[in-house]
Amino acid sequence: MKIESVKSLFEEEIKDLYDAEKQLVRALPKVAKAATTEDLVKAFEEHLEVTKTHVNRLEKVFQLIGAKPKSKSCEGMKGLVAEGQEAIDQDGEDTLRDVMLIGAAKRVEHYEMAAYQSAILLAESMGNEEAGDLLRQTLTEEEEADETLENLCEQLLESLTSDTELESGSNGKDRTRETVRTKAGRGT
């Protein structure tokens, strides 16, 4: 399809997001099944239900612009789902595998947040506040999911550090947490 207007670009973006969300509806049950921490399993299962809502919202956005809901293959999400599958297939200690699953899931959330931010800007530039509001609701939920994953990751890393402290008798917990925060760009 030739992009000839903001509306045609917006429609292409929504098709891409629609495919991305549908891919996640298929992938999240596998990720939840692979997780071993009860809170992480619950977070993935809850986000699956929220993701189904995202698909429905996108269908409403299609209606608002007078287009039929249609997917355009989202290659970015395909790659991210493949990375998630690598984490699922990885052998290793359960807590470390859960941390890997969270890393893969956070990459998905950040990809989605960027895509929704772009789509919101396009909707607003067309004066379609209703579509922008629907997309903004989803963006907020993606941000909340990312924060939940961040908190769970910190808890898991703390438990790993605590286990290491018990084994070695050292006190590296604060140093490990500081390193993780610094590498994540959050400072100390």
Backbone angles phi, psi at 128, to 5 degrees: -95, 80
Within a domain: residue 188? no
What's the pLDDT tens digit per position in 106-153?
999 999 999 999 999 999 999 999 999 999 999 999 999 999 999 999
* pLDDT at 43 > cutoff 90: yes
Residue 2 — very low, low, confident or very high, per pLDDT cuts 50/70/90? confident
Within a domain: residue 14? yes
Structure tokens given for 175? 């140093």
Within a domain: residue 65? yes
Structure tokens given for 78? 């395909």
Within a domain: residue 106? yes
The sign of the dihedral angle between the CA atoms of 144, 147, 153, 159 is negative
Within a domain: residue 17? yes
Structure tokens given for 24? 């996640």
The CATH number of residue 134's host domain is 1.20.1260.10
Instruction: Work out how many domains the chain is built from and give that number.
Output: 1
What's the mean per-residue pLDDT of the chain? 89
Residue-level pLDDT at 163: 62
Range(s) of the domain holding residue 45: 6-183
Within a domain: residue 13? yes
Within a domain: residue 52? yes
